[in-house]
Amino acid sequence: MIEQEGIRTSKPITMESFVIWEGDAKLTVTINVTNDGNLPYFGKIRSYVTEIESRWNDYSGSPYHFALLDYAVDHFILIMPKKTKTITGSFDGKLDHGNQTYPDISSDNIMIISVVNNMMPHYRVGYESTEYTQKYFARFVDQATGAIPN
């Protein structure tokens, strides 16, 4: 399944992202998304705030890597052909994030992973056995970037 997805054609989207560490567990994320195609693009853009080495450990006691803290950006986007849209978001570790706060994050342990998903769902079978079949709708990722605070 991974090989099949690796050869699919994605939408003609380019993207760049930047992260500014504002200090005091705050950051600002800016993403430029360009529709290089000839048709309007409708999708969802998300910027995941992750800890490179997580505060949470797996069963063996080793830290997870790139664990999600929350979103800095979570928006629907419509981009007309040959146009660029700039999206800005922020993250404040001191605020509530699903009953969690992260006032102790540090700029050298944060990475923002931004993705643009096409809104057209695709029906997929994730797993099949004689006893169980997992089916779901997937929204394909058309572009992704990673950025660390500067």
What are 21's strand-pairing partners? 27
Taking only the tens place, the pLDDT of each residue in 118-142 is 887 777 777 778 888 888 777 888 9
Which pTM does this prediction carry?
A: 0.86
Q: Do residues 92 and 101 make contact, with C-beta atoms less than 8 angstroms apart?
A: no
Cα–Cα distances in angstroms (integers) from residue 63 to residues 51, 69, 87, 106, 130, in the given order: 10, 14, 31, 16, 36
Cα–Cα distances in angstroms (integers) from residue 146 to residues 17, 50, 82, 133, in the given order: 7, 10, 23, 34
Count structural domains, the chain.
1
Cα–Cα distance, 101 to 42 (Å, whole number): 32
Structural domain span for residue 122: 2-147
The CATH number for 58's domain is: 2.60.40.10
Taking only the tens place, the pLDDT of each residue in 3-58 is 877 777 778 999 999 999 999 999 999 999 999 999 999 999 999 999 999 999 99
Phi, psi of 8 (to 5 degrees): -70, 155
> What is the distance, to the nearest Å, from the Cα of residue 24 to the centroid of all Cα atoms in its chain?
23
User: Which residue from 46, 26, 20 is spatially nearest to 91, judged by alpha carbons?
Assistant: 26
* CB count in 10 Å sphere of residue 40: 11
